[in-house]
Homo-oligomer: A and B are copies of this chain.
Amino acid sequence: MNFSRHLAAVQTRANSLICVGLDTDPAKLPRLLQGHEDSVVEFNRRIIEATADCVCAYKLNLAFYEAAGVRGYDMLRRTLSFIPDGIITIGDAKRGDIGNTAAMYARELLTDLGFHATTVNPYMGFDSVEPFLRDPERGAFILAVTSNPGARDFQYLKVGAHPLYERVIRKARSWDTNGNCGLVVGATRPRELRRIRALAPAMPILIPGIGAQGGDLKSAVRYGCTRDGLLAVVNAGRSILYASEGDDYADAARRVTTGLRDEVNRYRAAYFPPRR
């Protein structure tokens, strides 16, 4: 099954579009875990245990693991081992390099670490992206419009009548011959999201920036979903991981996650009512 269909199936079965960003910062762990060896892994294990039945995906930003140096790779592998089968794993690496080097990154992320999907930076063009799209079962989310302030520096520059990010989307569509290419559009960009969903009606869209970054959840659902109310992957990280500073962090994370899931599902029911 290609990645897009797999994602839709997982979202349907889980009845959730929520992705938890496991971007775990050792400095923000509850006091209970501080000093504890493997504290990040233990924290992740409990977050996953508490949220796995209310999400469609987990996203791990590689930076947070590489920061731990030689131990980081092991932390990543062990965290991945706690994620139950049937849930999508996204390696948020934003890599982009010439073809032979991109192939090494793709092998590391998709084969060695076994992520179902990655994020990819488009600036270096097709041969830098293609290795991430070669296996139809593995997805690549191409950065289109990001949630950060710097997005305005280049992504919005007009190329002819349209912003650069639209060129990225048109290229990404042309690259999507395997049904496994997606896009990244920040939740802080609702107008752009609407336009992008119109340009790419069937592609998965990873939508970070909910929660700590202040993105708008209703717009993320309304403008991010396909006509079936699927394929928007709504990511929240800090607002879930650090929902409580106390020892009840896992329960608090679950409460926030189920709350987000239910709110998303209310918007899905309103904007994408089941067809009869």
Contacts and interface: CB of A to CB of B under 8 A. Distances in A.
Contacts of A153: 122, 125-126, 171
A152 B164 contact: no
A128 interface: yes
B66 A70 contact: no
Copies of this chain, whole number: 2
How many A residues are at the interface, by size bracket?
Answer: 35 or more
A1 interface: no
A104 interface: yes
B160 A158 contact: yes
Interface in A154-192: 154-155, 157-160, 164, 167-168, 171
B128 A97 contact: no
Interface in A133-161: 143, 146-155, 157-160
A272 interface: no
Given A148-B127, A150-B129, A164-B159, A96 B121 contact: yes
9 nearest A-B residue pairs (beta carbon)? A125-B150, A125-B153, A98-B148, A63-B104, A127-B150, A70-B73, A126-B150, A123-B123, A157-B159
A125 B108 contact: no
B95 A124 contact: no
A69 interface: yes
Contact of A73 (B61, B73, B97): B73
Interface of A: 23, 61, 63-64, 66-67, 69-70, 72-74, 77, 94-99, 101-102, 104-105, 107-108, 112, 121-129, 143, 146-155, 157-160, 164, 167-168, 171
A129 B149 CA distance: 12
Given A94-B95, A143-B124, A105 B63 contact: yes
Contacts of A69: 73, 108, 112
Contacts of A97: 61, 63, 94
Residue from A23, A73, A123, A160 with most neighbouring chain B CB atoms (10 Å): A123
Nearest to A157: B159
Interface centre among A69, A99, A171 (most CB of B within 10 A): A69
Contacts of A98: 146-148, 150
Contacts of A96: 94, 96, 121, 123
Nearest to A156: B125
